[in-house]
Structure 1
Amino acid sequence: MRVSVVRRQETGDSETGDSRLFYLFFPLPYTPHPTPHTPHPTPHFPTSPLPHFPTSPLPHFPTSPLPHFPTSPLPTLP
């Protein structure tokens, strides 16, 4: 019975593992994040003077003297 023993190069495997760990935890210096983590210039909930539900004198449904459907007689053609 013949047993073949294959020797592995431990140095090559360890170098590959080290380089993977290096790239996982230490990104390359020439690839910075494009935008810095700065607070947004505008707030998420604006505090503008205009309220969400306006209480202006203008009603939502206008009560103007002109009706929506005119009731004036249509001119008859001669």
Structure 2
Amino acid sequence: MEISGLISAVVIGIVIGILGRLVVPGRQHIGILWTLVVGIAAALAGTAVAAGLDVADTDGVDWIEWLIQIGLAALGVAALSRVKRLD
């Protein structure tokens, strides 16, 4: 992977993490760094899921892929927040 691909993956992961955090209602007990990590992981996993469902490459904006990524980020933020709250 080239450096430009890595940078774009991080930027997209940041956006996905923030959107995932906005979807989860209430206060999350995790910091911004964990939100970014969850977002990057959700972006990568969401791309793999979308490719598996054959919806990753469409004409125009890949809305279904974005929704999958945001949904995974919301699940990740909610799960991590629950674990951190129990600490």
TM-score (norm 2): 0.21
Task: Say which one has the larger Rg.
Answer: 1
TM-score (norm 1): 0.23
Greater per-residue helix proportion? 2
User: Relative CO higher for 1 or 2, CA cutoff 8 Å, sep ≥ 6?
Assistant: 2
